Structure 1
């Protein structure tokens, strides 16, 4: 009775409470976008003759790519934090190495310190890469989950744009402090929100789960039904857990379950697609890339800010279309636009190199390049993060996010580290052609693997991967009812 009175006195709607809960994670991801994009301006400033830190080409490639290696260490730690410490505390702790990295970067006087600062940022990013989609999905109601998960894409784009603006108008040390401030704001907002209801339920804290759930969702009939399904499901799992089962035996069982290996396989392809489309290469090497694309007809910093502006505007657009249309529709729209744009850009650059395009029109490849930015930002950037937050069952959400995140970090390192060599050996035209082909291949696999998850509860998505749903991810109502009855009896 006390809990009901508590929720009835809420003066702020559930949407705004969910928005507050999500905003701390969003600010963190803005910092992540700044981490990825900062080499684009940092390396440009450090190439000046009177620079404070002298770098070789090898230093430059490591500064841009070391985030990918250190993401691995953060991702390895993340499942432990998510399972033992909870979503909220893991989010809070992940801000500390990120802030430390930016502070160290601001005072760096040699390449080693620069690399150490980037390593700290990468570790924090790794923890958050696993934690962010899980946290946002668990804080959100089904009707708002798509839009909130799409804010990850918006956050990346905002962070990239902000880092490039700061790096254009400020000295790189000052710009580093400005970018690091996002993590301080993130820590404050995360501290104002409760733990996620699914995590509390998984730990048997049912009273706290009810309070958190009703704080986030209110106490409508629909939300109360969803709350009871969540509680009954977790209570049933606790009853059926064998205390004497070894960890090794438990993990062997987990990897054989379709609700674990199918989502993990899908997310592997998702994150390979995310990186092979050039998602992190472009912001890291925007200036040299666009200098070749424009043929020197547009000033480097101007072209960089044009790319950032298109990415930022498209990320806002992506928030709306992800909320209005199905995940599959948005993803494959983005893939098609990306592949076509990359191949057209590659073809135009080849034609220009062989003299088939007059000098007065050497800027023409800029048009499909901007369409490429639009395509990958509208579909390939938001949907993998949206799916990552939805697709794993609660029991395996931490470990599943960690395994799929490993592919994200490995591909991050490989693609960003090899990009300078690729640009030198086969040019932007050849690199774009390779990215286009591999993006199409990944898209082909996902066309047959990925179900539709829009509008489904996290419980319904879990049921689908257990084999009780149709090809669009729509769970058979009688099967859900049957499972709910079983869960109630088991609880």
Structure 2
């Protein structure tokens, strides 16, 4: 019997095991996408005359934006949880407040309960925002890491599409039950794989690390070499100092502050591109962009389908092309599309667009959705999982995640005011110029990480070469495997 089980284990390829491990996080992030997009259908239904619950415009903006504030609490907890409890348990625990938030939303009788439910969801999202890229990167071999990290973007897009479909076809409480079910399945899948090898290595659990690494990567010669690099790097670089001294030294090290600055710009770019604004306010935004020529829910689903299909393409593109190439193509397409859409909207407002061409701003708007989903959505999450050294990965993810959450709140909370005061066209101009500014900084700051092991990326920021670390031969062998 035991021999049969062992044979089955051997038949399961390392790639398939990595897919199983990553799929639990992917389902969680689908739930996150649904969290972000759900106000787009919830608020639309609650505005109907026969709605049992009445909301003010202020209530609506808080329901859409409070996720950003609640994210902060989750992100503050995440570094300690990732470091003390590990990646696996952090992922498991984060599903509980998420499911609780959806359950409370289903039972909500007034605005206060809606805000409380969204706060629980935001706390869970904060934990997962720090944990997801780290966990996926540590589960994955370098050859597949880009594609697996790009599934975060795919998951967001899928969750947004699912939430809008459920919200279009179902009553909002029923739609909430359907959206919340993703977390239950996620919890089951997250519980299958072992703890990540780098975390076990960082804790000095070498035997467990070896078992976990072989579960994910197999035990061929090249995998064994990579395993030894991982274990030896921790022996050499794990600090043996007091906690205060560790943090004081940490902030002066280039392998910590350089990735942190890069991720700050990455997540500011992510939010200022309208990544979370568009799903929350798709219907009113597209009503304005189309000039009322396209039915509201139809235009919403058009945006969702473009986003979803582009996210599928991004999973392939991110693994095939250089990270920088994908990011800057997305930035250029987004900036040009936003400014073009703004120009067409200005011309329409001034009466220079004939009545039969009122819909034309829809085209650059959909191109903007394509551009930001292709490059601006997946690359920050891919880089977040790769760029921090193991010793500072939990802390770095938490600090950069703070920028993500603060910008989430600021951008989504101010969006209704921005739409009213300067219009959709003015808002598009602000987003386009902001994306361009962030893009300029990242052009000079961001290194290429595609095809490199996590240890090689750490060496880059430390300013060391593999030969200086007596790892040159091993690294050359690893690169051959990755390129193959």
1:416 Cα offset (Å): 0.2
Assess if the C-alpha contact under 8 Å between 1:463 and 1:480 holds in 2.
Answer: no
Deviations 1:119-157, CA, capped at 9 Å, x for gaps: 000000000000000000000000000000000000000
Cα distance change of structure 1 residues 484 and 98 upon mapping to structure 2, 3 Å threshold = farther
In the alignment, structure 1 segments of 5+ residues that lack a partner are 469-475, 486-491
Cα distance change of structure 1 residues 361 and 462 upon mapping to structure 2, 3 Å threshold = same
Question: 2:240 maps to which residue?
Answer: 241
Question: 1:62 maps to which residue?
Answer: 62
TM-score (norm: length of structure 2): 0.95
Question: 2:41 maps to which residue?
Answer: 41
Q: 1:311 aligns with which of 296, 307, 311?
A: 307
Question: 1:422 maps to which residue?
Answer: 418
Question: 1:393 maps to which residue?
Answer: 389
User: Which stretches of structure 1, 4 residues or more, deviate above 4 A after TM superposition?
Assistant: 5-9, 482-485
Distance 1:393 1:423 in 2: 41
TM-score (norm: length of structure 1): 0.94
Assess if the C-alpha contact under 8 Å between 1:7 and 1:214 holds in 2.
Answer: no
1:235 Cα offset (Å): 2.2
Q: Are 1:345 and 2:341 matched, yes or no?
A: yes
1:260-275 equivalences in 2 (<5 Å): 260-275=256-271
Deviations 1:387-415, CA, capped at 9 Å, x for gaps: 00000000000000000000000000000
Q: 1:355 aligns with which of 351, 370, 374?
A: 351
Cα distance change of structure 1 residues 7 and 78 upon mapping to structure 2, 3 Å threshold = farther
Distance 1:230 1:153 in 2: 28
Assess if the C-alpha contact under 8 Å between 1:7 and 1:218 holds in 2.
Answer: no
**Which stretch shows the higher mean deviation, 5-14 or 439-448?**
5-14
Question: 2:427 maps to which residue?
Answer: 431
Question: 1:165 maps to which residue?
Answer: 165
Q: 2:363 aligns with which of 361, 367, 374?
A: 367
Assess if the C-alpha contact under 8 Å between 2:459 and 2:466 holds in 1.
Answer: no
1:378 Cα offset (Å): 0.2
1:176-255 equivalences in 2 (<5 Å): 176-238=176-238, 241-242=240-241, 245=242, 247-255=243-251
Assess if the C-alpha contact under 8 Å between 1:98 and 1:121 holds in 2.
Answer: yes
Distance 1:175 1:403 in 2: 34
Assess if the C-alpha contact under 8 Å between 1:7 and 1:219 holds in 2.
Answer: no
| Paired positions, count | 470
Distance 1:6 1:405 in 2: 41
Question: 2:481 maps to which residue?
Answer: none
In the alignment, structure 2 segments of 5+ residues that lack a partner are 475-484
1:177 Cα offset (Å): 0.4
Assess if the C-alpha contact under 8 Å between 1:198 and 1:394 holds in 2.
Answer: yes
Q: Are 1:287 and 2:283 matched, yes or no?
A: yes
Q: Are 1:479 and 2:478 matched, yes or no?
A: no
